[in-house]
Chain A
Amino acid sequence: GAVVSQHPSRVICKSGTSVKIECRSLDFQATTMFWYRQFPKQSLMLMATSNEGSKATYEQGVEKDKFLINHASLTLSTLTVTSAHPEDSSFYICSARVASSSVETQYFGPGTRLLVL
């Protein structure tokens, strides 16, 4: 099956610093990638949809200037949490959409645990 990787798997940073999270599709090209945020014991909340070569589409309530998304190639999307604060601490998960014939499925990365001190 399709494999999606995320790096780093976990990161601890100081308040006010920026953190970049990478999402890569390892064995397929992903025209669309999604970024989710998951709070403890809760479901996934879609933050933004990232399309290769174009600006990301952010969900209502998600600050685009705080969560910068870049989808520079068909295999890489990055999420940068700028000026991170403790309330940004969360589990961030990316997924990549596989489009083949008439069937589409998302494959998820293993997630990145962010802790802001």
Chain B
Amino acid sequence: AQSVTQPDIHITVSEGASLELRCNYSYGATPYLFWYVQSPGQGLQLLLKYFSGDTLVQGIKGFEAEFKRSQSSFNLRKPSVHWSDAAEYFCAVGPNTGGFKTIFGAGTRLFVKA
């Protein structure tokens, strides 16, 4: 069965420090992978997505993610975190044109300290 695991419930990073949020997935074929960010009381905003091609994907707000098939991972990174990055981050798998539903990870709450 398809699944997404975000091992870290919450992470605290100092402003200006680098960030890596982990995401592991289980899927029978090459998945479609997404990272979304959610600010408190808001909907989800797409940060980046991977469908095929270059395994290092650039997104908005300075984020990037790398698809590693051998590790079934799609970790999100940012070289220098800003206080405004504090939010909830969701990794997701799907959907594809076959109608496979999007499955979300449990989310990782990012705290940024001054």
Contacts and interface: CB of A to CB of B under 8 A. Distances in A.
A113 B40 CA distance: 12
A34 B106 CA distance: 18
Contact of A44 (B32, B95, B104): B104
A3 to B, nearest CB: 11
Interface in A1-15: 1, 4, 6
B17 interface: no
Interface string B71-114: 00000000000000000001000011100011011110100000
A106 interface: yes
Interface residues of A, number: 26
A43 B105 contact: yes
Contact of B102 (A34, A103, A111): A34
Interface majority SS on B: helix, strand, loop or mixed? Answer: loop
Contacts, number: 50
A42 interface: yes
A83 interface: no
B105 A49 contact: no
Contacts of B34: 105
Interface of A: 1, 4, 6, 34, 41-44, 46, 49, 91, 93, 95, 97, 99, 102-111, 113
6 contacts: A4-B43, A34-B101, A34-B102, A43-B106, A44-B104, A104-B32
